[in-house]
Structure 1
Amino acid sequence: MKPSQFAKGFQPRPDTTSSEKRTALDRLNAIDEIVEKSNAAVAPAASPTANVSAAAKTEETEITDESAHYRAWRREHHYQPGQIIELALKSIKASPFNPRHFYLKSSIADLAVNLSKQGQQQAIHVIPDYDNPGTYYVSDGGRRVRALKEANKEWVKAIVIDLPIGIQSYKLGYDLNVQRDSQTVFDNAVVWKMFLEEKHFQSQKELAEHLNLDESTIAVALSIAKLPEVVMHEMVSRPDRFGSNMAYQVGRYHSVRGADATLRLINKILSDDLSTRQVADIVKGRASAQGTIKPSSRQRYAQRLEIKLEGRAAGDLKSYGDDRIELKLKGLSREKRDDILRQIEQILLAT
């Protein structure tokens, strides 16, 4: 993809809910409705022009808000929105704006077994790479593509949609993953860090506004992004235990103790079912990673008496627990100081 087109895809294009312009997610929902109503046939071909389904032979649907690139592409290939076609897996490539970064090998392997037995039940969504005809970016379905390759398949059922590769395609995939509970804080951490490093957004605030999130959410994710991927991988598989708060505490621990100690802490979190509060105590030094509680370096006094001399504050007398007192005085003349010391000494000698 040309750098200019890559950047263009990231220009702010705010979604609206007007009749003239639907959001990316609304478009996808509309496509799904078309598929359900028409029960579009699959065109089993390497190219969408090789075998046109009955849906493609009908009068061309008038679409007022499609892009010029997409209109030209679907007219060339006699493609109707929502039509399911088969594409060669080798023509499918990952989107540079994929909201997912982590894919568990065990999950891909399980899905590959399922696809081998039952076949692909749900079409993926792809976006044509107009600079490289015959190739497509995955907009939604990266896990299915990986599983099909794992199962040594050559074809994938796909619906071709009209989106630029950029923030809109990212937001579409992000919204879908959030609905499925498959988007993790670790995916966000890596991708959002990339967005800022590559200057697609100038600040955390700008990124938060584009994603309709609190800036604090972005800040927490970026702090987690400082973790090595080997550490994040250990937490990705257990989203029930490692949400943003827990991952944030693990990140704080790593900044002080390093990767090896952090991996041991993660194992302890899982084996001992530690809470976020307990991990925060370990990070703050009030407990060790081995589970023992450390005494606080600062013990709070049980009682405090303010001392005034000649009408002004001179210090205080504090008692701690059952066996300790502490007297602090300041601003005394030498004579007054020596007089107080003699009185204290007399008291101690008399006891």
Structure 2
Amino acid sequence: MAKKRALQMGLQELLSDIDSVYEKAGNIETKQIYTLEIDTIISNPMQPRQEFDEKNLQELAHSIQLHGLLQPIIVRENEKNNNQYILVAGERRLRALKLLNATNIEAIIIDVEMHKMRELALIENIQRQNLNPIELAQSYKALIQEHDLTQEQLAERLHKSRTQLTNTLRLLELSQTTQNLIKENKITQGHAKVLVGLSLKDEEIAVQTILGQKINVRETENLVKHLKNKKKSILSNSSQNNINHKDSNTMLRNDTSLQDSLEKLQRLLQQYNISSSVKNNGICLVFKSNDDVQTLLTRLKNI
């Protein structure tokens, strides 16, 4: 229990640290902002963000060219190489300056243990507004798993609603193909969250309909409802057919078993010279005399 609390407090402290760094960036003393060579800075190896919009980077580069870098990036020293720094926050700014062929960049150097690097990168990504829904979901999932947090705890700390966080996480239940379409902005998050819970086949049908017919979210909801009702109907019919099939098989097995027993009885009666014939599910006895009847009765009494 103590371990869990420590992990949660660590997250809160890191969130506070990153917030305070950004808040104080404009007022920080000159000696705390360093001019570093861009070539000495490497990207955070634990950076969860995989895709960066080229157009947005070009726009950011143009803004920096006109107004300068308004906010320094955040780095830490690389313990494996004293002449190198690892980026903690500011990936887009660093990439934009590289587009401008800049050689130097202003940076704040902070001391962060290696195992906290990913957490800071995740936090920075979550606080940004330009993450696609899948990247956001992956960041939520990583923080929850790596730092033993509940969805409610993470939602509260990040000032997100529990429902919003849960709906975002559920996008990871979709197929990889659908997730890629969300990343490419071909399917909106509104469309995507409606698809969660469908079978892979029905999900594919819905996705193709969204792309091909350009249906809106409300129309997608109706489509998904139709697909689910259709599946329930098929399952219900299949279940009834299975019951009928089982009943037929049971009756067939019972009939066969009865016929075998009647034929066995017929052979036994023949041993006492009593004629019989099997008809439908019964047996007909033919007696030649009263003695034959009495003989059978005596045998039955002795059983």
Q: TM tier, shorter chain?
A: 0.5 to 0.7
Which residue, 172, 179, 199 being the options, matches 1:224? Answer: 172
Distance 1:146 1:129, change over 3 A: same
- Note if 1:212 corresponds to 2:154: yes
- 1:295-335 Cα offsets, whole Å, 9 max, x none, are x969xxxxxxxxxxxxxxxxxxxxxxxxxxxxxxxxxxxxx
Specify which of 169, 176, 182 is matched with residue 130 of structure 2. Answer: 182
Alignment partner of 1:280 is 2:229: no
**Equivalent in the alignment of 2:262:** none
In 2 relative to 1, CA 146–225 (structure 1 residues): closer, same or farther, beyond 3 Å?
farther
How far has the Cα of 1:39 moved from its partner? 4.3
Using the alignment, how far apart are the partners of 1:193 and 1:29 within structure 2?
A: 21
Instruction: Choose which of 109, 115, 118 in structure 1 pairs with 2:64.
Output: 115
Name the amino acid aligned to 1:27. Answer: D
> Structure 1 residue 158: deviation in Å?
0.9
* Amino acid of the structure 1 residue aligned with 2:201: V
- Relative to the length of structure 2, the TM-score reads 0.55
Matches of 2:186 and 2:119, distance apart in 1: 21
**Equivalent residue for 1:247, pick from 192, 208, 214:** 192
Q: CA deviation at 1:141?
A: 0.7
**Where does residue 23 of structure 1 map in the other structure?**
13
What is the total number of aligned residue pairs between the two structures?
A: 223
CA change 1:236–1:169 in 2 (3 A) is: same
C-alpha distance in structure 2 between counterparts of 1:143 and 1:116, whole Å: 14
Gaps of 5+ in 1: 1-11, 41-54, 56-82, 288-293, 299-351
CA contact (8 A) 2:25 2:72 kept: no
Is the CA contact 1:126–1:158 (under 8 Å) kept in the aligned structure 2?
yes
Distance 2:143 2:21 in 1: 29
Amino acid at match of 1:242: Q
Aligned partner (choices 58, 61, 75) of residue 126 of structure 1: 75
The answer as to whether partners of 1:224 and 1:248 remain within 8 angstroms in 2 is: no
Residues of 2 paired with 1:207 and 1:26: CA distance?
A: 17
Amino acid at match of 2:44: S
Tell me the amino acid that sits aligned with residue 85 of structure 1. Answer: Y
Can you list the C-alpha shifts for 1:74-113, whole angstroms capped at 9, x where unaligned?
xxxxxxxxx1112222222222332433321221121122
Query: Cα 1:237–1:108, aligned 2, differ >3 Å: closer, same or farther?
Result: farther
Matches within 5 A, 1:151-166: 151-166=100-115
- SS of equivalent residue, structure 1 residue 247: helix
Name the residue aligned to 1:170.
118
Change (3 A) 1:123 1:38: closer
The answer for the alignment partner of 1:235 in structure 2 is 182
Whether contact under 8 Å (1:15, 1:23) holds in the other structure is yes
> Does the 8 A contact of 1:252 with 1:283 survive in 2?
no
Which piece of structure 1 moves more, 125-134 or 186-195?
Answer: 186-195
Cα distance, 1:216 vs structure 2:
10
Provide TM-score, normalisation by structure 1.
0.49
CA RMSD of aligned residues (A): 4.4
Unaligned runs of 5+ in 2: 1-5, 156-161, 235-303
More helix by share: 2
For 1:62-141, list aligned pairs within 5 A. 83-141=32-90
Output one character per residue of 1:250-272: Cα deviation in whole Å (capped at 9) or x when no partner. Answer: 5666932687x676455468x54
Task: Give the number of the structure whose alpha-carbon radius of gyration is greater.
Answer: 2
Tell me what 1:256 maps to: 201
Counterpart residue number, 2:297? none
Give me the whole-angstrom Cα distance separating, in 2, the residues matched to 1:116 and 1:143. Answer: 14
Which piece of structure 1 moves more, 119-128 or 250-259? 250-259
Aligned AA (1:283): V
Helix, strand or coil at the partner of 2:217: coil
Query: Given that residues 190 and 225 in structure 1 are in contact (C-alpha distance below 8 angstroms), is that contact kept between their aligned partners in structure 2?
Result: no
| Identity within the alignment, % | 19
- Partners of 2:78 and 2:86 within 8 A in 1: yes
Distance, in Å, in 1 between the alignment partners of 2:125 and 2:192 is: 19
- Name 2:265's counterpart in structure 1: none
